[in-house]
Structure 1
Amino acid sequence: MVRSGEQARRGQRGSGRQGTVKAVRRAEVRLPELTAWDGGGLEPDGDYDGLEFADLDLAGQEGTGARFMDCALRRCALDEAGLGRARFMDSVLEGVRGVGTDLAEASLRDVEVVDARLGGVQMHGAVLERVVVRGGKIDYLNLRKARLKDVVFEACVLVEPDFAGAVLERVEFRDCVLRGADFGGVRMADVDLREATELGIARGVDALSGAVISPAQLFDLAPALAAQLGIRVL
């Protein structure tokens, strides 16, 4: 487990981030005036445009393949919600909560996820492009074989996230806690881990090629790296 202090992070900020890793193209969502959703439950392959879903219980709803464009989901319960292959574009998910939400093979583009409280979210095979995950806590996030491009995890807590077999390009972990992360078989390019406040890697230390870490993190990762290379330190 790596804990990088504020002094180390300041030193890295001063060393020229742009010269060592390509900057993430952050999502900047600007929602139009929204109409409150007053319909019933979600529908498979439903088409939702310019709507606000606020304080709703969407637990167990089936929205497989649904399309959300210029929408906001605020403080909604998403327990066991079926949103596999759903598409979220230019949208905000704020204060959503739930266990077992199914977002397998979903597509998120220009999306902000703010202060989410989720557990066991299934996002294997999903595609995330220009996504910001800010605040909140997500336990057992399954991103196996997902594709992440221009994604920022900021000031959030990720407990045992599973990135196994995923492709990460221009992904940044800023003031973010990672505990028990699985990076097995991941392909990385310009992945910035330097400002993770806590970095715990359970598997996949050998797959960090393409990532950037701080000197303090390298020191703490040394035992795991040595074990991976078969080096005994006596």
Structure 2
Amino acid sequence: MATSAVRAARRPQISLPELRPFEGQELEPDGDYDGVRFEELDLSGTEGGGATFLDVGMYRCVLDEARLGRLRVIDSVLEAVRGVGTELAGAEFRDVELRDARLGGVRLHGARWNRVLVSGGKIDFLNLRQASLTDVTFEGCVLDEPDFAGAALERVAFRDCAVRRAELREVRLKDVDLRGATELDIASGVDRLAGATINPGQLMELAPAFAAQIGVRVEP
């Protein structure tokens, strides 16, 4: 029987205009930032919920405990940002590149990502519960204990990246390509992999989890 190919994730196409430097001290709730360059700023604890980033470049900024729920980021690049406990619940990312980020415990539950590239860096305890990801590529990065519980992933690819202790309970997958993951470790929800494509080596590594899921005992 012929099998259909996995539909590839579309990548963002971003061409930033000449950016003007950000001259404020912190973000403002519901603020509009168009064509702004944020560079080497400590925005820890900033209150920027509901703000909109359009054609924005953010480089080497610190976002520890920043409260950015419902943030809208469109046609923008975030590079080498760092943050622990960053609040981004309900955020919308559309045509965004997130490069070489170092994030821990970032809260993105209920977020909506469309045409997003996450390249390089390391993200620990990424909370994407109940999120919607369409045309998203994770490339050359490390995802340590990502939580996709209840999320919907369509045309999502993992390329040359490590996925460790992933939470997949109640996840919904369509055209998800896991073949390029250098590590694939699923903490729970292996039964939710329908709609994903894995390679033969990953199948062998996941075989004990599949057997346990259907109640098969494997003994020598």
* Inter-partner Cα distance in structure 2 for 1:104 and 1:122: 6
1:33-112 to 2 correspondences below 5 Å: 33-112=18-97
- Tell whether 2:206 aligns with 1:230: no
* Inter-partner Cα distance in structure 2 for 1:126 and 1:67: 14
In structure 1, which of residues 183, 191, 207 is the aligned counterpart of residue 176 of structure 2? 191
* Inter-partner Cα distance in structure 2 for 1:233 and 1:57: 53
1:98 Cα offset (Å): 1.0
* Inter-partner Cα distance in structure 2 for 1:221 and 1:29: 37
1:40 Cα offset (Å): 2.4
Could you say what secondary structure the match of 2:180 adopts? Answer: coil
* Inter-partner Cα distance in structure 1 for 2:167 and 2:159: 18
* Inter-partner Cα distance in structure 2 for 1:184 and 1:20: 25
Q: Which residue of 2 aligns with 1:167?
A: 152
1:19 Cα offset (Å): 4.7
- Tell whether 2:112 aligns with 1:127: yes
1:4-15 to 2 correspondences below 5 Å: none
* Inter-partner Cα distance in structure 2 for 1:147 and 1:99: 22
Q: Which residue of 2 aligns with 1:211?
A: 196
TM-score (norm 1): 0.92
Give the letter aligned to residue 179 of structure 2.
R
- Tell whether 2:132 aligns with 1:147: yes
1:79 Cα offset (Å): 0.1
Could you say what secondary structure the match of 1:194 adopts? Answer: strand
- Tell whether 2:16 aligns with 1:31: yes
TM-score (norm 2): 0.97
* Structure with more relative contact order (C-alpha pairs < 8 Å, separation 6 or more): 1
Between the two proteins, what is the percent identity of the paired residues?
Answer: 64
Query: Where does the alignment leave 5 or more consecutive residues of structure 2 unmatched?
Result: none
Q: Which has the higher helix share?
A: 1
* Inter-partner Cα distance in structure 1 for 2:164 and 2:137: 17
1:233 Cα offset (Å): 1.4
Give the letter aligned to residue 210 of structure 1.
G
**Structure 1 segments of 4 or more deviating over 3 A?**
none
Moved more, 55-64 or 20-29: 20-29
* Inter-partner Cα distance in structure 1 for 2:24 and 2:4: 50
Could you say what secondary structure the match of 1:218 adopts? Answer: helix
Could you say what secondary structure the match of 2:179 adopts? Answer: coil
Count of matched residue positions in the alignment of Structure 1 and Structure 2:
217
Give the letter aligned to residue 153 of structure 1.
F
Query: Where does the alignment leave 5 or more consecutive residues of structure 1 unmatched?
Result: 1-17
